[in-house]
A = this chain, B = another copy of it.
Amino acid sequence: MYAKGWYVCAMSDELGNEPIGRMILEQPVVIWRDGAGKPVVLEDRCVHRRLPLSKGRLVDGRLQCGYHGLEYVGSGQCVRIPGQDNVPPRAQAKSYPVAEGQGWIFAWIGDPADAAATPVPNVAEKVGAPGWRTIRGRLPIKCNHLLVLDNLLDLSHLAYVHGTITGNVAVAENARVETKVNGNRVRVTRVMEDVEAAMMYAEFGGFDRLNRWQLTEYIPPCYYFINNGSEQVSAGPVAPERVDGQAEWGFQVYHGITPENRNTTHQFWQISYPESACPANRLAEFDDLLIKVLYEDLYVYEAQQESIELIGPEGRDGEVNPVIAINADAGLNQARQILQRLSRAV
């Protein structure tokens, strides 16, 4: 039902002295750091009477159940049962392969034997880069994760959903759009030349009219790399190889979109931008605008989801079931096909 792979389950800086309980891909997990600081992901239930282990506490690098005090080490093995000497070997909580990097903690969903041979995708390339600033968070969304895929692979919606912040009509009306599939990755570029600057481009980039570009790369099963760049119209036509950069003004967005359940999703988001993109005294305002964009999308996602949960006149529910396709759907249709193929292969 879901493609196997590395999924973001937490942000690195979330994990402190308390275990975190969370549902990912319909599986309850508890996330914590062992005595050596290594992140651990276990099934979130005590092998004894099913209290979630996330209700327990960390004691000397072990996770102690909050009901009868059973203690677990990072492998998931229970090593202590208060009031008795022996611990049955099968007192073992399911354990998930774990990785950490790029600001995120990843859990492997699928056969654990496959984890070691599968690299964690490199998505959030500017996190920690000199001269760059990053903000991040987790946004719980009441929608199926495919609605987020649809959104991120068709950025024409900036015109209507984010029309007062990062978009304007030109984004939908005047873009040169290209979709390329490379293996399991989908790359959509949108170039707009000599168009009016949307609000943030005017306010922080100082543009009146501009050349502007967007790049979305879908990296299965659940990652989206987005680059935004812009420059003066006088710089001339935008060469294809330039859409990976920011030129005069831009920013990058990285999303780890982890299904929680069929109809709810964790959006682990990071936004990185060069320090030069915003004056030091306007950072709070700048960040607020970009975060507001996330909530504008959330409003759309949740309204769509409510709509698809109703049975339509065609008698099918639970999916988008579009009556028509539009030109801008090219990228999202490619990505949906790839993900569908990978999900069947599990």
Contact = CB atoms under 8 A, between A and B. Distances in A.
A51 B304 contact: yes
A122 to B, nearest CB: 30
Nearest to A87: B324
A91 B43 CA distance: 47
Contacts of A303: 51-52, 55
B160 A91 contact: no
Interface string A299-315: 11001101110101100
Contacts of A92: 323
A208 interface: no
Interface string A139-152: 00000000000100
A304 to B, nearest CB: 5
A67 B322 contact: no
Interface stretch (A76-84, A281-289, A338-346): A76-84
A109 interface: no
Given A55-B303, A68-B156, A320 B49 contact: yes
B69 A322 contact: no
Contact of A312 (B45, B67, B68): B45
Interface stretch (A8-16, A168-176, A235-243): A168-176
A199 interface: no
Contacts of A44: 307
Interface string A38-49: 000001110111
Residue in A83, A299, A300, A320 whose Cβ sees the most chain B Cβ within 10 Å = A83
A48 B82 contact: no
A209 interface: no
A300 B105 CA distance: 28
Nearest to A69: B160
Given A55-B300, A307-B44, A157 B68 contact: yes
A299 B54 CA distance: 13
Number of this chain's copies in the assembly equals 3
A235 B67 CA distance: 32
A144 to B, nearest CB: 12
Contacts of A91: 323-324
A280 interface: no
Contacts of A310: 28
Given A173-B83, A312-B45, A324 B90 contact: yes
A235 B315 CA distance: 61
Given A68-B156, A159-B69, A48 B172 contact: no
Interface in A164-188: 169, 172-173, 175, 177
Contacts of A156: 68-69, 82-83
Interface of A: 27-28, 43-45, 47-52, 55, 64-70, 78, 81-84, 88, 90-92, 94, 150, 154, 156-157, 159-161, 169, 172-173, 175, 177, 299-300, 303-304, 306-308, 310, 312-313, 320-328
Given A52-B307, A70-B326, 5 more contacts: A28-B307, A45-B312, A51-B307, A67-B160, A67-B161
